[in-house]
Structure 1
Amino acid sequence: MSLQGPAPKTDEFWLFGYGSLIWKPPPHFDRRIPGWVTGYVRRFWQASQDHRGTPEAPGRVVTLIERSYWEKLADHHDSAPDKVWGVAYRIIPEYVAKVKEYLDIREINGYTIHYTPFHPATGIDPALLPQHGPFLTLVYIGTPDNEQFVGPQDPQKLAEHIYRSEGPSGLNRDYLLELEKALNVLSPESGDEHVTDLANRVRAIAARERKRETGIQTDNAILSSQFPVVVSPEQAQQRHHHDFRRGSSIDEQEETEKTS
């Protein structure tokens, strides 16, 4: 993994999570601070071959795009909040090396290490913070030059892709819906239009699929009533004999169990 930007001049190790790290935190942390970073846009533009998809059928997960780069692209979601909300975690000092190793494995699929200023949400106890005001946090970003970066996509096609993708960590749509829920509880202003729009589309797809499956079941029931299976007298006698024998065998087994 490459290292981008200057490392913080402090002994404390803080990690910024803007995706699954919000609701699935790293091990060995002792502080969890909601807040935001600026200068970035969050997008589902990173392929996932190891968590929410497979190498043959990659899913989609979020990455951060530098706003100056994003503004040059033709994105169907043409607006984005100035603040990218997420969570900063302070890792217990004696576990920093272990957690870094864990994160390198978890985020290995195209992500690189960067450092960015993190702004704590208002109302946080100052005693929990390393300093007054913003402080540097480590963040994993899938930059546009990594092999898993897919770039702008049609929102409906992206939602369909997310709905149907699955990997070792579970359904891709669960990742999207969990992210939406996790963001909405951080702050009244922490929602993300890109995430919410995709989540609404995925819910509409799920409703459509349920309706389609219900329709198929209804059609099958109607066909069964209109075209019942015709059984010959010989088949009926064979079924009756088979059911009688099966019932007798079960009765005999039950009686044996009772007397044993």
Structure 2
Amino acid sequence: MNRKCDSGLACDMDEFWVFGYGSLMWNPGFEFMERAEALVYGYRRSLCVRSFVHRGTRDNPGLVLGLDRGGACRGMAFRISPGKWDEVIDYLRARELVTNVYLERRVRLQLVGRRRVEAVAYIIDREHEQYAGALDALAAARVVNEAKGQSGPNDAYVFNTLTHLKQMGIRDHWLERVVNEVERLRAA
């Protein structure tokens, strides 16, 4: 088996799983053997990453998802075939570590209705300049309502994320409150 050992993340794993909590869930961009709904405890999905390029600018940053400490998060786990480990970890690093706002970590997952596994996940680096902290729904909505970047308006990203989560049967009450606040701001 060819396994990445430079970070130690995959080299001593019998199976290689990846946890997605945002766009990775519906657009992984890599081959996988199995996909399963999963829960990670001790982390939550949050609009806690300032976007300076894709959904905002340095002068008017937007907000995108990060996996932050506290709570629990329902997402998707992907099991990668041993022959694809190197390819997938290289792809993920190119996709997720562009500005190093995320830390590549192992997390323990509970596959829904099944067993526990370890997976690679990308956790927000709270020391990074792009970390926005824990915002309440109204504060996040104000940012989301105003920001726009190279990939389009920030609100489109948030609304699209919520739509995909609902299609997958995943409720995110906090993100729903953010969307409700954006809609309320527009109506005012």
One fold, TM greater than 0.5? yes
Report the structure, 1 or 2, having the larger strand content.
2
Does 2:93 correspond to 1:111?
Answer: no
2: distance between equivalents of 1:111 and 1:165? 21
1: distance between equivalents of 2:165 and 2:63? 18
Distance of aligned partners of 1:41 and 1:205 in 2 relative to their CA distance in 1, 3 Å threshold: same
Query: What is the SS of the residue equivalent to 1:191?
Result: coil
1: distance between equivalents of 2:88 and 2:146? 32
Does 2:45 correspond to 1:42?
Answer: yes
Superposed displacement of residue 61, structure 1: 1.2
Superposed displacement of residue 37, structure 1: 0.6
Distance of aligned partners of 1:105 and 1:206 in 2 relative to their CA distance in 1, 3 Å threshold: farther
Letter in 1 for 2:23: S
1: distance between equivalents of 2:85 and 2:10? 14
RMSD (Å), alpha carbons:
2.5
Deviation digits for residues 54-99 of structure 1 (CA, Å, limit 9, x no counterpart)? 34432111222222xxxxxxxxxxxxxx531000112343333232
Does 2:83 correspond to 1:94?
Answer: yes
Please tell me whether Structure 1 or Structure 2 has the larger radius of gyration of its CA atoms.
1
Match of 1:24 among 23, 27, 51: 27
Query: Where does residue 174 of structure 1 map in the other structure?
Result: 156
Preserved CA contact (<8 Å) 1:4 1:114: no
Matches within 5 A, 1:132-147: 133-147=115-129
Preserved CA contact (<8 Å) 2:137 2:175: no
Does 2:172 correspond to 1:205?
Answer: no
Q: Where do 5+ consecutive residues of structure 2 fail to align? A: 1-5
Query: What is the SS of the residue equivalent to 2:33?
Result: strand
Letter in 2 for 1:90: R
Does 2:74 correspond to 1:85?
Answer: yes
2: distance between equivalents of 1:47 and 1:5? 29
Distance of aligned partners of 1:99 and 1:6 in 2 relative to their CA distance in 1, 3 Å threshold: closer
Letter in 2 for 1:205: L
Query: Where does residue 153 of structure 1 map in the other structure?
Result: 135
Letter in 2 for 1:17: G
2: distance between equivalents of 1:139 and 1:114? 5
Superposed displacement of residue 16, structure 1: 0.3
Preserved CA contact (<8 Å) 1:52 1:165: yes
**Identity across aligned pairs (percent)?**
31
Preserved CA contact (<8 Å) 1:16 1:139: yes
Report the structure, 1 or 2, having the larger helix content.
1
Query: Where does residue 250 of structure 1 map in the other structure?
Result: none
Preserved CA contact (<8 Å) 1:43 1:62: yes
* TM-score (norm: length of structure 2): 0.81
Does 2:165 correspond to 1:183?
Answer: yes
Query: Where does residue 240 of structure 1 map in the other structure?
Result: none
Preserved CA contact (<8 Å) 1:23 1:178: no
Letter in 1 for 2:56: G
Letter in 2 for 1:133: R
Number of aligned positions between the proteins: 181
Letter in 1 for 2:102: Y
2: distance between equivalents of 1:100 and 1:206? 41
Query: Where does residue 145 of structure 2 map in the other structure?
Result: 163
Moved over 6 A (4+): 3-6
Preserved CA contact (<8 Å) 1:41 1:64: yes
